[in-house]
Structure 1
């Protein structure tokens, strides 16, 4: 078999998988055809050097003045959606953005506080901090409130020489009330990858709007989760003097060539999101509550008091002895979700998300069937159970028309 035949075989295998999957993974989404238009553009082959705040003509490429106008449009969108005075879409992913920022904002030996894996923090953060020579400790957390212990954190800020606070939550049902932080001169880097779409329409969740403008705050995130766009890292700030210092280091120190077609695709996505995003986010949170209420009779839902999740994510605990079986059954039936062993899941649980099925227009009727599938996955599989699950899935996966888009 030659390479072309192998490629065709792989493509058929993936297309079949994607067509027949029930997408409940909280970390993925689907792009519209409109957002995909720039991905085959010749703009991907062009170069621009320098930062996003000012065009540097000297030693730049001939087309740089044309490309810089796209930077300006992205900055306009960042201002309108997030209140940002600095918007940079040059990094490729959320973690690429975070790594670039840590290298630009801190030096080896600086002390930082980070969100730990047990509370839903991204597992790469301590690894990157260690590699960069940063001294890190975990942020104090209140497990009953599903949020950080701001009183303890503010005490640390006042009593120690703390360079920064890094919050990046992969598992998040309740957006943190970070406006309670009394930062002083401490840098806050808030990786809001999972909730970046929600933050666009909720100023209380946006540290650029809910915290003092003089604070050194970076709001960043990957743009392919609740923002249904390409894989980009979006970096935003309100404090321009702080942003200038970072921008000078990001380029030319850590980024040279960029993926301009990805940035253009992100621009398309954000223009579309400006128009349809608020309705999409409202329906997504509504779907989260609906699906949670349908799952409660069958699962031990993890929540704050009587409050359902306020994001796209639903977390539920499954005993460790049953977890592998549940996950194996989900994999067998192509139901995408995440197995978790973090403390916020009582060390054994499942994370699902409603962002992609909401994009497909799922509402009460479909969600009821999703709940049925998940409850059946708990049952020890036999031919009858498999048949019941497949019957439901065949109907659900036929409904994959993208909504909330041009």
Structure 2
């Protein structure tokens, strides 16, 4: 077979695009292109309008941030530092990158921000590479306490040849065991200690372990990816104020920006080393189009971040309490269930994490299966738990009463045994009231010139 010629394609394939304002328009396009547009349209409709999205590592940008994201900058290169590039044509990119660093520095109350890492994992790789050489040692929060794979020998740390040593875990408090951890740090004398994680209900003991790390001339790295929005919203302690030497983070979880990363520190020496390592070791071009969207999100968080972070935590606590009330085994009951955006549930009695996550997806409730502190590592494909995050639905305006409704949906599917496809109808109807992003500025993009607008969800009919 050969690809259709332009004349064959125009005769053979037909797409109807329904524009709410102008009516239906017939477009003659190749079938493969129709498939691409259909997949995108169906995904957008499903996830943005019809699902309760509870993945703890995701969020939704505002229309303003999305408009700033889809720009000509996505086609451009800007290797090097602002105003010291290896390419011409970057004068506006430079100003945006400087502004992102300034805004994030203000939000984090930190002197130096490096925004070029394109993900949290790349931020971690850069920090780890600067702080230790192959064969040297790093002490990390235990996997049971939520350590991200990039912190471990199975991920970035191992790829860099740095030895992975875990801190002891306190099962009762669902956290690092402080006293035992201090002893490990003093005995091992690592080059650095890593705190923060991806299953993260309660703050790690930064102050105590930073003091121990500094006593053996080690640095403390804090992976703030999941809680960055809570930190800048002043509802989670700022690790830099408690002794952390460096923050690594992504920019798209509780901080509701585009996918990307950053590194922040008050040490000029560390900042210079990080900046020399991120390029050319880990990125060449750093996906420039995310920078304006990150700046827009930072400004939104400057004005609305405290209210947003506060409601996230209120919602997480309420959802945990309601699920517990319905008989679910929600972890951390004796500790108040959670202090973050996350809720973790032992779902083994309902068939395990893999089965439950799939059942909920069939009802348009999106969560992820997750290892629990007492699961063996080989249970990763079918762990005992699920991880829930409320930050995205909070951004769409949901509050405590809506968490009650969501908990009831869980009950209907898992306790009452109602067919997921029946609950899905209820979920879709429920979501109709929550399609507008909150905690942003009231700006009608239709008033902007076309250059500043982007198409959102297109309605395709076949």
Taking structure 1 as the reference length, the TM-score comes to 0.90
Give the Cα–Cα distance (whole angstroms) in 2 for the partners of residues 157 and 279 of structure 1. Answer: 38
Give the Cα–Cα distance (whole angstroms) in 1 for the partners of residues 307 and 252 of structure 2. Answer: 18
1:2-401 paired onto structure 2 within 5 Å? 2-18=31-47, 19-51=49-81, 55-56=83-84, 60-126=86-152, 127=154, 128-181=156-209, 182=211, 183-184=213-214, 185-202=217-234, 205-211=237-243, 217-298=245-326, 299-303=328-332, 305-319=334-348, 322-323=351-352, 324-343=354-373, 348-379=384-415, 381=417, 386-387=421-422, 389-398=423-432, 399-401=434-436
Cα gap change, 1:306/1:45 in structure 2, threshold over 3 Å: closer, same or farther? closer
Secondary structure of 1:234's aligned partner: strand
Secondary structure of 2:415's aligned partner: coil
Worse-superposed segment, 24-33 or 181-190: 181-190
- 1:356 to partner: Cα distance: 0.9
Say if 1:83 and 1:238, in contact at 8 Å, map to a contact too.
no
Cα gap change, 1:130/1:393 in structure 2, threshold over 3 Å: closer, same or farther? same
Larger radius of gyration: 2
Residue aligning to 2:459:
none
Taking structure 2 as the reference length, the TM-score comes to 0.80
Cα gap change, 1:44/1:118 in structure 2, threshold over 3 Å: closer, same or farther? same
- Cα RMSD after superposing both structures: 2.3
Say if 2:119 and 2:260, in contact at 8 Å, map to a contact too.
yes
- 1:394 to partner: Cα distance: 2.9
Render the CA deviation track for 1:91-150: whole Å, top value 9, x for unaligned.
111112212322233211110112333321112432222222111111222121122122
Give the Cα–Cα distance (whole angstroms) in 1 for the partners of residues 393 and 350 of structure 2. Answer: 29
Secondary structure of 1:90's aligned partner: coil
Count of matched residue pairs? 396
Cα gap change, 1:65/1:271 in structure 2, threshold over 3 Å: closer, same or farther? same
Give the Cα–Cα distance (whole angstroms) in 2 for the partners of residues 4 and 386 of structure 1. Answer: 30
Cα gap change, 1:260/1:391 in structure 2, threshold over 3 Å: closer, same or farther? closer
